[in-house]
Structure formats: C-alpha cells, structure tokens
Chain A
C-alpha cells in the first residue's frame, strides 16, 4: 500500500491497527494530532497502515474520538472554539472510571497526545487532591519505605496540611 503522490491532499486516510487487531480508518489530519503518529507519517510517509502494539482497540478508539473532536473544532477559526473544546473536554473526562482513566492516560502518553495527557493528568490530580495518604498508597499500590518514626516526623512538621 502506498499513496501515489505526496501532494497536498488533506483527506488522506490512515489505517491504525490496535494490539487486539481492531483497525481504525482516520483522516491524517486527525491522527497526526498524536505526536507519535505524526512522527511515523513524517519519517515513513509512504505507508498507510500503522500498527500500535501497545494500545488496545477500546482505548485507541477513545483517543481517536478525542482527536477527531479537536480537529473538527479547530478547523473553524472561530473564537468560540476554545470554549467548545473546553466544554467537550469536560464532558469527555466527566464519567471516566479510574481504570479507564489510567489506561487512557497510558495510551495518550504512548501516542504522545500532549494535550490529551494534560487533560487526563488534570483529571487524575482533581481526583486525588483530597485523598488521605493511605488512600494514595492503596490506589497506586505504593508501600511506605520510611524508617519507623520518619513518617511521623514528616507529618508532624506539616500537621496543618492534614486538617
């Protein structure tokens, strides 16, 4: 598979293949919102099938959905676009459960979708900001490696933050 020319056609389609074999056909302008894909297209621009062995279909689909919305909204050079994007981003992350959120974040990071990574890390931060230290350890499966007494000392120093 190779495109016949490298002229400035904007509707060129790319095939993206997820780890579980699911394929997506997307416009190049949409897919290149992802830094990783943009690099592949620029470096090896002749082929149209891109395999992504580290993302499964479910999350790749979600990432592409986000890219599509942002690509569409950005084509009209309206001032209200920022607002539309913001509103849409809010909707996008609103009902994500923790597991989906973390998988999606890994997918976005792997695909170098900087803006999406920003959005998702912001969401993670808003979810954990009010948590207790023990809950953080539970969520992220972290074991305290402080020596006995060390942790108490740190807590005592910053007791105000625990109120």
Chain B
C-alpha cells in the first residue's frame, strides 16, 4: 500500500480534514449527522423546517425518513400538542394549543377549522384520534359506509373501502346494516400500518352476535374477524374506542365496565370494571373522562366523602401494565382549585349534590414527555380552557372558547333541573387529541 500505516482515512475523516472551520456548517453538510438530528426533532419543527431549503425539504418529505421518525417519536411518547374541540352545535372545530398559552387577541388557528375530503360536501366529523392519525366520517353518511384516515400534520388522507362488506358476512347484498361503531388502532412503534375495527349488526336477520370486521392498511381490505361480540354486552358505545396497549377499549353506556378487544389477536377479553368507590365515599356521575396519553390509560371521576359539606376531589386513575388494575395516580382538590380559579364555583344555582358546586368539564389528561412532573389536566371552566399541573398545582389559561349554544326553549321549562347558566357551561361535544406525526396513511 502506498499510504503510511495508521493514517487510514475513512470518507468521513477525509471530509472533516478538508472542512472549513465553521463547525455548524460542516454538521449540516454531513448528511448522516443531519439525518440523525432531524430524526430527533418533533414533527411540528420538521413541518416548519421544510422551508429551509430544497435539500431539507426533500430529506423531511422522504417516506423512509417519515416512517423512521414516527416510529421513533412514539418510543419516547409524544404527548398531545393540541386538542380539537367539536361542539355538538357547530360544525367547525375549535383548536386548543397545549404548547403555550395564547392571548385572546391571538387565538391559535390550528391545523384546520373544518374538514372536507373528495366530493363529500356535507363536511367531515372526527370519530377518534390515535397516535397522530384521525379516523373520520362524512357528517351525513347513512348509506355509503365510508371512513377516512387522516393525518392532520401532513394533510394526507386515505379513503377506506365501505364497511360492512356483505360478502364477508355471508349475506345478500340487499341486507341492511347498522354500523354500531368504528375504531382506529395504530401504534407506529410496532408497525407503520394501522387497522380499523368495525362493529355492525345485520338488520332483519337474527344473530346472537355482532359482526366484527377489521381493515388493515397493509392489505387494503376488510376481513371478517374470527372473534365476535355477544349481543348481551349491550349497551356499549362502539364508536371511537380508546386504543391502548394493542387493544381497543369501549366504555359501556352506564360507565360500569370496559370492553377490551385485542386487535392483532382478534380477541375480546372479559369486561374490566372501572375503579371501585371506596366505602363512605360518593362518586360523581358527570365530569368524567376516559382516555389515553403517552402510553397510559386514564379514567377520571369526581369523588367526595359522604356528607353534605365534605370536600370534593377529582381522582385520576391509571391502568397498570398488563391490566393489573386501576390505581390512583393523581388527586385534584377541587376546593384548592377554586381558590386559584374562583369562576369554577357555581354561584346562583340550587345545589343538589357536592359536585353541583363546581362547574367544569374534563377535556383531557396529558402525561408529561419525561416524567410525571409535567403531567396536567385540561379543564373547560365556563368559556375558558385551563391547564392544571398535578404536581406544581398551578394553573394556566390556554384560551377562550365560545360558549355552547343557548339552551333550547323546551328545556327552559324545567328551571330547577337545568339552569340556563349551568346548561351553557357544560361542554356538550367531543374532544380529540392532536399529536403531530409524519406517519403515512
């Protein structure tokens, strides 16, 4: 060999030796290193950095990069960076930016206010949010049985073939179906593909079970699941379940138990009871919340000791790994909260229980990126959306949202049951987490 021993130089070394002195410049021109740095940025930064240069745009738009990025980000549990609020009375979505407090003069626009895909003129509603993807359906959909999977960050969507599929279920095409619900299952740390579960009932044909069909984005078709769901399980809300730990979780209508369907194994587990009420305590019926954040399943409910004037709390339960049971993760003292946020107290209304003293809705529980210290609950208190940190017990105002519609006239006939003010303060609608991700649909 002509070169002296010990000075074997790699491609990298040669580049470094001939490089200019400005170090950041070299880093940016070293594709391997730049790639590694970009992989570690949150999706929102990357979307912004697409406009740095053509080179950055092509790196960030690359399918392989996006796939690696979304599987990586999920591993370190990206929490939600925003919430889409959908008031029952309005077609548009309100957006709550969780990353920073916004002044009322500068409301966050969010990724979208309303959705429209293809030729659907009726508009689109969201059914479920799952690790960066949204499961959506046309607002007026009685016949088409179409669902969409949408990535609000990349603005790409996929139109799924109609479901239920009569051929799968083995019935004539004239059979009518009632779709009881569709749910999305997506975990980019396990697979870049997602699945959608559709639970339906055949009208006019007696069957002891519901039909369960599963769509896979890998194969692009619906298949009938070998598992079925007994009709005894009713009433369960099968639409937009909560995906956690490889399974979709549906809450039954009376908030008594969870149905848990493992999507890959197509297996329905026996119902899981909700956290028990300790003796001598009373659980509230309203103000409840059930959802997932950063790989944790949460159930929130208000609780107070029996007795008219006892203190009330908001308990946040977390499900243990492998369903070992619910344990109390955080407890919010509503009296202490009312000191910080006095408007939470219901003034004029006749109180029937301890909880009527407070007026709020739980919008979301968000687990911190790194540790519990950054975990918080998002509450809607009258027209304000507030973020309350469990550990520091401090609150910050996120934004104002317009109040819900005025009460409908016939409800005003029962002023003791529903005071107009209280009515307008309840959140009547749905909340969907916004988790920026570059994953493909």
Contacts and interface: CB of A to CB of B under 8 A. Distances in A.
Interface string A25-56: 00000000000100000001001011101100
B25 to A, nearest CB: 4
B332 to A, nearest CB: 29
- Does more than half of chain A's interface fall in helix, strand or loop, or is it mixed? helix
B41 A133 contact: no
A110 B53 contact: no
Contact of A154 (B25, B42, B50): B50
Contact of A158 (B10, B28, B33, B50): B50
Contact of A110 (B16, B24, B25, B110): B16
Contacts of B309: none
Given A47-B6, A105-B27, 14 more contacts: A36-B10, A51-B6, A51-B7, A53-B9, A106-B27, A110-B10, A117-B36, A121-B37, A141-B25, A143-B53, A151-B51, A154-B50, A160-B111, A163-B109
Contact of B37 (A53, A124, A143): A124
A140 interface: yes
Contacts of B13: 53-54, 110
B48 interface: yes
A161 B110 CA distance: 8
Interface in B96-122: 97, 108-111
6 contacts: A53-B9, A53-B13, A53-B17, A106-B33, A110-B10, A146-B51
A124 B52 contact: no
Given A124-B37, A129-B41, A142 B52 contact: yes
Interface in B391-430: none
A53 B7 contact: yes
Contact of A102 (B24, B48, B155): B24
Interface residues of B, number: 45
Contacts of A129: 41-42, 45
A106 B16 contact: yes
- Does more than half of chain B's interface fall in helix, strand or loop, or is it mixed? helix
B225 to A, nearest CB: 37
A56 to B, nearest CB: 11
A124 B49 CA distance: 15
Contact of A141 (B12, B24, B109): B24
A89 interface: no
Contacts of B42: 129
A133 B111 CA distance: 19
A5 interface: no
Contacts, number: 118
Interface string B1-24: 000011101101100110000111
A144 B44 CA distance: 20
Contact of B23 (A53, A103, A133, A143): A103
B54 interface: yes
Contact of B49 (A50, A118, A136, A160): A136
B155 A157 contact: yes
Interface of A: 36, 44, 47, 49-51, 53-54, 98-99, 102-103, 105-106, 109-110, 117-118, 121-122, 124-126, 128-130, 133, 136-137, 139-146, 151, 154-155, 157-163
A117 to B, nearest CB: 7
B63 interface: no
A109 B49 contact: no
A128 B17 contact: no
A58 to B, nearest CB: 13
A160 B36 contact: no
Contacts of B59: none
B24 A159 contact: no
A125 B6 CA distance: 34
Nearest to A103: B23
Contacts of A133: 48-49, 51-52
A105 B7 contact: no
Given A50-B6, A154-B57, A121 B24 contact: no
Which of A137, A142, A161 has the most C-beta atoms of chain B within 10 angstroms of its own C-beta? A161
Given A145-B53, A162-B48, A128 B23 contact: no
